[in-house]
């Protein structure tokens, strides 16, 4: 898993453009992730509209789309983070994109978005796939980036998310207004396919067989408990977690995914499950 970088760690010397030019695997991963993120917002905006149509434009029903995504991510990340320490990170990223693609195609083909319940279910399922992808991506970065590049790579991923938010929201909203919700959702299907193909071109990213940990429930839950104990025994980490939770709630209330700001800080891997357990409740 990804932990937070120490305050005393020196800043990376490599620049954003230099990193994208010189590191081909990172460039491919970055582009694939941007494509997927942009497509995500086609679906998110569509879900807002569908929730409104199914509820006579009830503000509570529309807010439920955000709430369902937020709490499902908080619950999922408690457990999905440990997957990156036990299974192929590249495979997890490919699988998350393909799962999203298959689910969305299935929903569109069978026209299953006619009720508010189905809208919420799709929101939960889609964000669950993202909960698998994100820890795998950030655990994968040390395999394709040098120590000098790692800070810049994480910061660029965080900044790239913000760019994708702006582009995806703008293009997604325009697409829906001109061509309708179904077209926007099919475009999102295409972005998942392109993202999966992009990740397929990347080199293997571990963990090696010798590094993989046991996937037994006892070991998994034991590591989650250890993570909480570690947080509670370190005042700085405890305060930082509380602070991020408060900031996350504030950002969530303003409609901004709380997790968008903090991805850039996840650099050093901690024991599986512990950091996503703590930071899952930051409400995306």
Q: DSSP string of 48-80?
A: HHHHHHTTTS-HHHHHHHHHHHHHHHHHHHHHH
pLDDT per position as a tens digit, 3-40: 444 444 455 478 889 999 999 999 999 999 999 999 99
Amino acid 210: pLDDT: 60
pLDDT per position as a tens digit, 204-228: 877 776 666 666 667 667 777 777 6
Evaluate whether the domain defined by 16-213 bears CATH number 1.20.1250.20.
yes
**Stretch 77-90: mean pLDDT, rounded?**
84
> What is the chain's Cα-based Rg?
19
- The number of residues making up the chain comes to 284
Dihedral sign for Cα 67, 70, 75, 80, please.
Answer: positive
Amino acid 12: pLDDT: 44
Task: Give the containing element (helix H, strand E) for 239.
Answer: helix 235-253
**Stretch 181-196: mean pLDDT, rounded?**
96
- Give the burial class of 111: count Cβ atoms within 10 A of its Cβ; 0-12 exposed, 13-18 middle, 19 or more buried: exposed
What mean pLDDT is reported for the chain?
79
Give the residue with greater pLDDT, 4 vs 186.
Answer: 186
**Stretch 173-181: mean pLDDT, rounded?**
96
Give the residue with greater pLDDT, 61 vs 238.
Answer: 61
Amino acid 284: pLDDT: 39
Amino acid 213: pLDDT: 64
End-to-end alpha-carbon separation of the chain, Å? 18
pLDDT per position as a tens digit, 95-118: 999 999 999 999 999 989 989 999
- Asked if the model's pLDDT at residue 187 lies above 90, the reply is yes
What residues does each domain of the chain span?
16-213
Q: Are 54 and 171 in contact (CB under 8 A)?
A: no
Amino acid 79: pLDDT: 80
Percent of the chain past pLDDT 90, that is, above it, reads: 50
pLDDT per position as a tens digit, 120-171: 999 999 999 999 999 899 899 999 999 999 999 998 988 888 889 899 999 9
Q: 216 by DSSP, 3-state: which?
A: coil
Q: How far apart are alpha carbons 139 and 275 in whole angstroms?
A: 12
Task: Give the containing element (helix H, strand E) for 268.
Answer: strand 266-268
């Amino acid at each position: 898993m990804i932990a937070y970088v120490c305050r005393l760690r020196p800043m990376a010397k490599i620049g954003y453009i230099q990193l994208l030019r010189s590191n081909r695997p990172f460039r491919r991963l970055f582009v694939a992730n941007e494509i997927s993120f942009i497509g995500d917002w086609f679906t998110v905006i569509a879900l807002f509209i569908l929730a409104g149509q199914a509820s006579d434009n009830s503000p509570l029903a529309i807010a439920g789309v955000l709430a369902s995504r937020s709490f499902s991510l908080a619950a999922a990340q408690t457990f999905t983070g440990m997957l990156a320490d036990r299974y192929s990170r590249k495979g997890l990223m490919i699988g998350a994109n393909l799962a999203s693609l298959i689910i969305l195609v299935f929903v569109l083909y069978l026209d299953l978005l006619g009720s508010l319940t189905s809208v919420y279910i799709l929101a939960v399922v889609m964000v669950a796939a993202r909960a698998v992808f994100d820890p795998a991506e950030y655990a994968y970065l040390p395999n394709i980036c040098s120590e000098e590049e790692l800070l810049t790579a994480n910061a660029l991923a965080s900044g790239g998310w913000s760019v994708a938010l702006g582009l995806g929201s703008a293009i997604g909203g325009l697409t829906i207004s001109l061509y309708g919700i179904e077209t926007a959702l099919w475009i999102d299907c295409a972005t998942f396919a392109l993202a999966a193909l992009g990740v397929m071109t990347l080199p293997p990213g571990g963990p090696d067989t010798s590094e993989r940990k046991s996937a037994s429930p006892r070991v998994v839950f034991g590591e989650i408990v250890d993570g909480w104990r570690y947080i509670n025994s370190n005042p700085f980490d405890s305060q930082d977690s509380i602070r991020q939770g408060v900031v996350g709630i504030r950002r969530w209330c303003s409609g901004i995914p709380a997790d968008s700001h903090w991805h850039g800080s996840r650099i050093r891997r901690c024991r599986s499950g512990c950091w996503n357990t703590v930071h899952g409740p930051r409400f995306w």
